[in-house]
Structure 1
């Protein structure tokens, strides 16, 4: 694979369509450059629904969500969701009309329903407050 250089001039999008955004980290982090690759450079389809195959404990996380590093700072994830033009909706298993059986501490018995036909699953995962489901849809859909 040959090396390609993407040139950004005065923070404008590159000729190919790649975009770059600078953040000073708000005084909490080092300077950060966010690059949003164009279709040519991203090498993948736009983020969207995929086949869901939950593991033996019932957990699942969308495989195309990028890694945002270790730590509790949600800022990179929130920025990525915004760049993708997504709206999120989620809830804990206990927020529904029933609770999971005590013997199902994982979440194999919980099968949350989509909030609507345009929503797709992005994760069923454990939190300090118990199992949580997260759905997404494009903001321009309603």
Structure 2
């Protein structure tokens, strides 16, 4: 952060390092509490205006340094009440692709329930 008292002199600019309480927190895993229908989304994901265009979300995920992986419920379950008209995904317990992945969301799409996982991209 920069601070200036308005004097316009270079010597008036101070660098301030916020304490751990006020510093920006890196995006990462949080406690998951699915709703009564089994849906959930990460509370740290910004609101992109509810549009259908995935570009802003993809750009944000890349900016966060995240690799994202999505999977459909039908890959895990051949039979579920959802396929008979239910509006929930209860009893679906999607498994993480690995220990470094964390949950981004369990959500409904026009193609049925999906889960999305993320992990930090490895920098080479």
What is the aligned length? 106
Partner Cα separation in structure 1 for residue 119 and residue 50 of structure 2: 26
Q: Does residue 109 of structure 1 match 2:95?
A: no
1:103–1:127 distance in 2 versus 1, CA, 3 Å: closer
Cα drift, residue 52 of structure 1? 0.0
SS at match of 2:93: coil
Q: State the Cα distance separating 1:56 from its structure 2 match.
A: 0.2
RMSD (Å) for aligned C-alpha atoms: 2.6
Unaligned runs of 5+ in 2: 5-14
Separation in 2, partners of 1:99, 1:133: 17
Q: Which one has more relative contact order, counting CA pairs under 8 Å at least 6 apart? A: 2
Work out whether 1:46 is the aligned partner of 2:26: yes
Pairing 1:100–2:76 present: no
**Which of the residues 36, 52, 59 maps onto 1:72?**
52
Give the structure 1 partner of residue 67 of structure 2. Answer: 87
Provide the TM-score with structure 2 as the length reference. 0.74
Q: TM-score, normalised by structure 1?
A: 0.66
Greater C-alpha radius of gyration: 2
